[in-house]
Chain A
Amino acid sequence: MLSLKQARQLQTVLLGLLAWGVALLIFFPIFWMVLTSFKTEIDAFSTPPQLFFSPTLENYLQIDSRSDYFHFAWNSVVVSFGSTLFGMLLAVPAAYSMAFFESKRTKSTLLWMLSTKMLPPVGVLVPIYLLFKDSGLLDTKVGLVIIYTLINLPIMVWMIYTYFKEIPKDILEAARLDGATATQEITQVLLPISKGGLASTVLLSLILSWNEAFWSLNLTASSAAPLTALVASYSSPEGLFWAKLSAVSTLACAPILIFGWLSQKQLVRGLSFGAVK
């Protein structure tokens, strides 16, 4: 029989192992991608896969000579930050009115907004493609900003709504009695109180926009194409070049990974945000 203390220790160890297992499972593809990006094309193909090999920068050099990485990266940056900014400008007032001026239809409106995320995007590809074509938005950054804003808006509104819901209504009423206008109420009281939650919403929106591939592949060609389109362009019809594809994928993931790494503290704090007293 284990004593209570031993049982607890065992539980901690097992849970720790489980966490490590899951983490490694998630991390492995990324690890393998980075590894492959430093192999030659022949090494990348070899069976059994090689864990030890002589690394080369060949792939990165080829990508540098074949395509303009910074053009795509800049597009990714503009589109993700642009759509996040627009998304926040729309989501904050929407969530404010839903959280603090709730009506009978608020809950169903929220559900309806979320339900648009359940629609397979390909189902609206043709109408949206045509709309974009007719309004001259094809292959423009503005077009992508619009579509990303719309894609992420339901999740942003839902997240911010949840954070706002945790703020006691009294605090805003106190501000109203103190003479704050609706705008001052939002900017001077609501936003500072919920900045943790807002920051994690911004981060999530950035990540989702950065990683989005379906619309960017279908609505852009070259001038507005973000990194996801660059990656796709390396899966060429002559056959797959795994090492180069890995290298370009690593380059596409790197900025957002670094960004996420730097802001993980804020992200965790935001996601576990609560208890405004």
Chain B
Amino acid sequence: MSDLKIRNLKKVFEGLEIIKGVNLDINDHEFVVFVGPSGCGKSTLLRLIAGLEEVTSGSIYLDDREITDLAPAKRDLAMVFQSYALYPHKTVRKNMSFALDLAGVDKAVIDQKVNDAARILELDHLLDRKPKALSGGQRQRVAIGRAIVRQPKVFLFDEPLSNLDAALRVQMRLELARLHQELNATMIYVTHDQVEAMTLADKVVVLNGGRIEQVGSPLELYHYPVNQFVAGFIGTPKMAFLKARVKGASPHSVSLTLECGPEYTLELDGSQLNVGEEVTLGVRPEHIQVTQSADSPFKVHLDVAEHLGADTYCYVKASTGETLTVRAPGDFEPGLGDQVGLQPDLARCHLFDGQGVAIPKPGAPAQAA
């Protein structure tokens, strides 16, 4: 068993509230990713859990044991740092065995555990090298190995892949996913990269300004973002936001007039909306189609096109100056500056009220927060 409960956690640093009352449950065996823009407090939250920062108020429980004020080493956690933080003067073997050496574990047991971890991570032939003689990916693996040998209840990862080059990052990402399955351990992973968050996580925690914006599975976040921040943060390229006004609202439908012209009716519960209210329509690039301009009420100008081979991303500008990204097929050859029409997939559009809070879509999971 290893589940982590965070209750009303706050961290004030030099008069600045960095973590503003966080409540979170992390279940046994879960791979949880903290994601958010830089400065959102995700790393601080991880360091609070690790015990590397002092908690200002609130509490942290691991398996119902309060660990809020325990020393880092007494918490049964292991952490992998962004900079790897290997001991440069120790061999790979000694790096991995340091914690067990300190704990006075029997030498034979240590050897066994280090060899096991080295085998899992394919480090067997590197055990007697110093970190200096390793590549970035190998150093990262040693850092993970150092965590594994301790058999902690929870693994903490602080942006572990951001120092690696792109190709290696993808490879390590897959290895981490495999490792999670193999060890069946609880893992908390901090990243600013939402692709890492989406691909690795069982549960994603989106943080912004020291607060949790939303907790959910990757697809929940993608399909049912609770507010404009999450909607804009999850998904690449970003969701486009278009200003609109409510023309008519009922419990089953909302009709809108977009500032840039077209009128649409969405099948949403509009009971909280008033006619004339300002709202925002969110459309993902993959949920818009380019059509002939003559047939469409939604006319835009093509600004830039990026040909990625499989897809073409078209950056378009509406009459109001609002910009949208549209994902078109790879063989789409637009003429820059041309006027084209757009056809959004209305069932997959998102609507946000004046405060940026999402109007719930049918089928959206209940939010605990």
Tell me the A residues contacting B by CB distance below 8 Å.
168, 170-171, 173-180, 184, 188-189, 192-193, 276-277
Query: Cβ of A173 and Cβ of B87 under 8 Å apart?
Result: no
Contacts of B98 in A (CB 8 A): 175, 178, 180, 188
A178 to B150, CA, bound (A): 8
Instruction: Name A's interface SS.
Output: helix
Contacts of B132 in A (CB 8 A): 277
Query: Cβ of A177 and Cβ of B78 under 8 Å apart?
Result: yes
What are 14 A-B contacts with C-beta separation under 8 Å?
A171-B88, A174-B79, A175-B87, A175-B98, A177-B72, A177-B77, A177-B78, A178-B146, A179-B102, A184-B102, A189-B87, A276-B88, A277-B88, A277-B132
Query: Cβ of A178 and Cβ of B88 under 8 Å apart?
Result: no
Contact of A174 among B71, B77, B81 (CB under 8 A): B81
Query: Cβ of A179 and Cβ of B81 under 8 Å apart?
Result: no
Given A173-B79, A276-B88, A277-B131, output 7 extra A-B contacts at Cβ < 8 Å.
A168-B83, A170-B85, A174-B85, A175-B87, A176-B71, A177-B79, A178-B102
B260 CB-CB contact with A under 8 Å: no
The count of chain B contact residues (Cβ–Cβ below 8 Å) is 26
With known contacts A175-B98, A176-B73, A193–B83 Cβ distance under 8 A: no
Q: Type the 1/0 row for B24-59, where 1 means its CB is closer than 8 Å to any CB of A.
A: 000000000000000000000000001110000000
**What is the minimal beta-carbon distance from B15 to any residue of chain A, in angstroms?**
12
Tell me the B residues contacting A by CB distance below 8 Å.
50-52, 71-73, 77-79, 81-89, 98-99, 102-103, 131-132, 146, 150
A177 to B78, CA, bound (A): 7
A273 to B52, CA, bound (A): 28
Query: Cβ of B85 and Cβ of A168 under 8 Å apart?
Result: yes
A177 to B154, CA, bound (A): 12
**What is the minimal beta-carbon distance from A196 to any residue of chain B, in angstroms?**
11
A192 to B87, CA, bound (A): 10
Query: Cβ of A193 and Cβ of B73 under 8 Å apart?
Result: no
**What is the minimal beta-carbon distance from B149 to any residue of chain A, in angstroms?**
10
A25 to B27, CA, bound (A): 73
Contacts of B103 in A (CB 8 A): 179
Contact of A177 among B73, B83, B87 (CB under 8 A): B73
Query: Cβ of B88 and Cβ of A177 under 8 Å apart?
Result: no
Contacts of B85 in A (CB 8 A): 168, 170-171, 173-174
A171 to B84, CA, bound (A): 8
Contact of A171 among B73, B79, B87 (CB under 8 A): B87
Query: Cβ of A180 and Cβ of B88 under 8 Å apart?
Result: no
Query: Cβ of B89 and Cβ of A193 under 8 Å apart?
Result: yes
Query: Cβ of B102 and Cβ of A173 under 8 Å apart?
Result: no
Contacts of A188 in B (CB 8 A): 98
8 tightest A-B CB contacts, nearest first: A170-B85, A179-B73, A178-B99, A174-B85, A192-B89, A170-B81, A179-B102, A177-B72
Contacts of B72 in A (CB 8 A): 173, 176-177
**What is the minimal beta-carbon distance from B99 to any residue of chain A, in angstroms?**
4
Contacts of A173 in B (CB 8 A): 52, 72, 79, 81, 85
**What is the minimal beta-carbon distance from A44 to any residue of chain B, in angstroms?**
52
Interface hub of A173, A174, A176, A184 (most chain B Cβ within 10 A): A174
Contacts of A180 in B (CB 8 A): 73, 98, 102
A170 to B88, CA, bound (A): 12
Q: Which residue of A lies closest to B78 (CB)?
A: A177
Contacts of A171 in B (CB 8 A): 85-88
A192 to B102, CA, bound (A): 16
